[in-house]
A and B are shown apart, each in its own frame.
Chain A
Amino acid sequence: MSDLVLSQPAPLAIPRCNSKTGLRIVQTVCIFIIALVMISPLFMLLIASLKDDRFRILADMGSFRAFWVSDPTLSNYREIANFSGELAYGRYLFNSLVILVVTVVSGLIINSMAGFVLAWGSLRGKAILLAVVVALYVIPQESIIMPLVVMMSRAGLTDTFAVQILPWVASPLYVFLFYQFFAQLPKELYEAAEMDGASAFRIYRSIYMPLSLPALATVSILMGIESWNQYLWPTLVTQTDYARPISVAIATFFGQDSIYWDRAMAASVLMMIPVLILYLAFQRWFVSSFVGSAVKG
């Protein structure tokens, strides 16, 4: 009987240890597979951009050859790196960058100010205003796009950089994000500064803004990606290459009769780089913002 009792823990302990290691292996394999699935389209895009035959790219797409290039060439990049003419992709890339930077910078200022006022401002009907802001977020952009086109055209803004920036600078989502972030900060901060005689703007600029780096990073990335990926809006309001962004320019490769995969892939790689840089630059605060909003003290 006692033998039986003593011998019991041993067989139990060994499988527990095995199952832990096994679980870890399974987890690692799963993560590896998921990572592979996530990265493979990007890798395929990069490889395809180095092939100079669009039919070869298409033929390779259904097989593992899509991930291999035997004779890499930069000819696709050379072809699209123009700064003038109808196919001035360099110019379009520059246009997109200008739109991105101005939208994000002005968006950060305006949305954070609105969020700050909603969180700490002493105005009547704040709760209703906040409810309206949140409600605005659920309206799809596409449903208001045509009235917006008419408004912008009446304002004489068609085919300008302004028409691609102004409508998207203030966004209910980002106002709400800032509101939430500012509202979480201790009330004592505001009161102490107020007692020291600081104005509301001074408190916003010198105290709350420096503390809100994670929120700024999150909004920068989300806003940057949103601005960068705009397609329908610039299609409707831009006319010439003066302010046309890269997303619309890439559409020239997708004609009615054929698709120029080689150049489309190279242009897509170029289009990807600025948002990747934006993400890498703000990644640390971006992650901490999510962690911060998930863990409450």
Chain B
Amino acid sequence: MTTQLGNRLLCALFASSALLCTAGFVEAKSVIHVMHQGDPGWVKAYGDVAKRFEEANPDIDVEMIYAPHDAYNEKFSAAVMAKQLPDVMELDAPFLANYVWSGYLQPIKPLVDADVLDDMTGSNIAQGTYPIDKDLYAIGLTDSSVVLYGNKKYLEAIGARIPKSVDDAWTREEFEGYLEKLSKLEGVKWPIDTFRGYGIKTEWITYAYGPLLESAGCDLIDRKAWKASGTLDSEACVKALTMMQTWVKNGWVVPTSSGTNQFYAEGQPAALAMGGHWFYAEAAAAMKDNIVVMPLPKIGDKGVSPNGTWIWGISASSENPEAAGKFLSFLLKDKDYRDYAKTQSAYPGLKSFAAESPLYAEGGPLAVAFEQASKTAVARPPHPAYPTITSAFMQAVDKIFNGGDAQEALTAAAKKIDQDIEDNAGYPPFDEQQ
């Protein structure tokens, strides 16, 4: 009996020692938390990269934190308040200035492989750089742009000129003339889809409509004085938004309730689509040779197009910045991740990725989109007040599209933005730049 008890005690001792050893082993591992958004395809792609990274680095565990796209900012705010910012996080490029100003991000150059940094395209460096200290805070495989997609059959039917490069983009007169002709063409229910279906919870309105307004001589804020009053509510902006309101009033624009694929839905009821580069893969699969890709129209004297996308940064509070940098370098070089990005017609942000992407090379179907990056791309205002700027602007546009008075809505938005900047004492050191 005593021997039996002794054996049991010995077993228990061994078991607890083994457990302690295991616990010690687990503790020796670094854990990095990676917060991201995305649809099921991207979620799987990131998850697979994390698994491969763990296999290649047995001393590091990766915990993927998914935050729904529509609630990403709320999740981010909650993480900040709870002091639980992840080590690596995906962020929308125009929010970078605010995050750096708030002290959430750390410079990324010392943490990411030098060959990846050397591989970045100019616009990718621009979207990840904080304009005050000119330091790089975020990096990504991709950038983005918006182009004008056209239904070849309809365009030929109205005798429209099809521009081949950014330099011969449609003028406002041509654009509105074609919209009117298309509205009378049989088979066309709506001349253009501007993806109002994306709603005001995403960045779409500021990202895609902003450049059209800038082309018309308007801007969201004075980029030197950092004041919105006198710029966002100027005559140019009121005229530009009244023009877009007229398109909606005329029934030329696909309504929000009709979703986001009226360009290539059955019967192809929309003749044009002002869509992101990511839209190409699905549209081309549905329309085959009937799709044409054109630069965004010139509403005023110059053409303007958007850039910037979701990029990766490392939080200032990260306890394992080296491991986080290692993961980012691994992610950006990962072949399977790049292959998946290619299937989504991802817009290159790394030179090596551009070389792998025939879609964007000269003569490629999206070459015009890539040409826009160097000729007409204008970033959204790189200011810490950007979250307020975009929210106020999007609400104003939404109001105007729903029949509101343009001057009234834009004046209210401008006041809101200026008030926010004033409340934050000009967001020093931005105020010193004035």
Contacts and interface: CB of A to CB of B under 8 A. Distances in A.
B82 interface: yes
Given A58-B261, A85-B47, A257 B68 contact: no
Interface string B141-176: 000000000000000000000000000000000000
A62 interface: yes
A55 B65 contact: no
A257 B278 contact: yes
A159 B65 CA distance: 10
A167 to B, nearest CB: 14
Nearest to B48: A86
A146 B75 CA distance: 10
B68 A251 contact: yes
B258 interface: yes
B39 A260 contact: yes
Interface string A156-182: 001000000000000000000000000
Contact of A235 (B71, B81, B276, B286): B71
A189 to B, nearest CB: 47
Contacts of A237: 78
A200 interface: no
B259 A61 contact: yes
Given A146-B81, A252-B40, A257-B276, A232 B74 contact: yes
Given A235-B68, A240-B65, A258-B260, A252 B82 contact: no
A277 to B, nearest CB: 27
A146 B78 contact: yes
Contact of A255 (B39, B81, B265, B266): B39
Contacts of A248: 66, 68
A259 interface: yes
B285 to A, nearest CB: 9
A279 interface: no
A248 B63 CA distance: 17
User: In terms of DSSP, what is the predominant structure of the interface of chain B?
Assistant: mixed
A240 B31 CA distance: 13
B320 interface: no
A158 B282 contact: no
Interface centre among A59, A239, A240, A244, by most chain B C-beta atoms within 10 angstroms, is A239
A227 B81 CA distance: 24
B64 interface: yes
A149 interface: yes
Contact of B42 (A61, A255, A259): A255
Contacts of A260: 39-40
Interface in A118-173: 146, 149-150, 152-154, 158
A158 B265 contact: no
A146 to B, nearest CB: 6
Contact of B40 (A231, A235, A263): A263
Given A232-B71, A252-B38, A253-B40, A55 B261 contact: yes
Nearest to A86: B47
B71 A149 contact: no
Nearest to B92: A256
B279 interface: yes
A254 B84 contact: no
Contacts of A62: 258
A86 B64 contact: yes
B258 to A, nearest CB: 7
B38 A235 contact: no
B83 interface: yes
Nearest to A261: B259
Contacts of A185: none
Interface residues of A, number: 36
A87 B68 CA distance: 13
A61 B257 CA distance: 11
A236 interface: yes
Interface in B38-89: 38-40, 42-44, 46-47, 63-71, 74-75, 77-78, 81-84
B202 A256 contact: yes
Contacts of A85: 44, 47
Given A59-B266, A85-B47, A256-B202, A153 B69 contact: no
A244 B75 CA distance: 14
B307 interface: no
B265 to A, nearest CB: 5
Contacts of B202: 256
A289 to B, nearest CB: 35
Contacts of B74: 232, 235-236
Q: Interface centre among B33, B66, B266, by most A CB within 10 Å?
A: B66
Interface string A187-207: 000000000000000000000
Nearest to A250: B68
A233 to B, nearest CB: 10
Contacts of B106: none
A59 B78 CA distance: 38
Nearest to B35: A239
Contact of A59 (B65, B68, B265, B282): B265
Contacts of B81: 146, 149-150, 153
Interface string B262-284: 00111100000000101100100
Interface of B: 33, 37-40, 42-44, 46-47, 63-71, 74-75, 77-78, 81-84, 198, 202, 258-261, 264-267, 276, 278-279, 282, 286, 310, 344
Given A149-B78, A260-B40, 7 more contacts: A58-B265, A59-B261, A149-B82, A235-B67, A237-B78, A251-B70, A254-B39
29 contacts: A55-B261, A55-B282, A56-B266, A58-B259, A61-B259, A85-B47, A87-B43, A149-B78, A152-B82, A154-B82, A158-B84, A231-B71, A232-B74, A236-B74, A239-B33, A239-B63, A251-B69, A252-B39, A252-B43, A253-B40, A254-B39, A255-B37, A255-B39, A256-B202, A256-B310, A257-B344, A258-B260, A259-B260, A260-B40
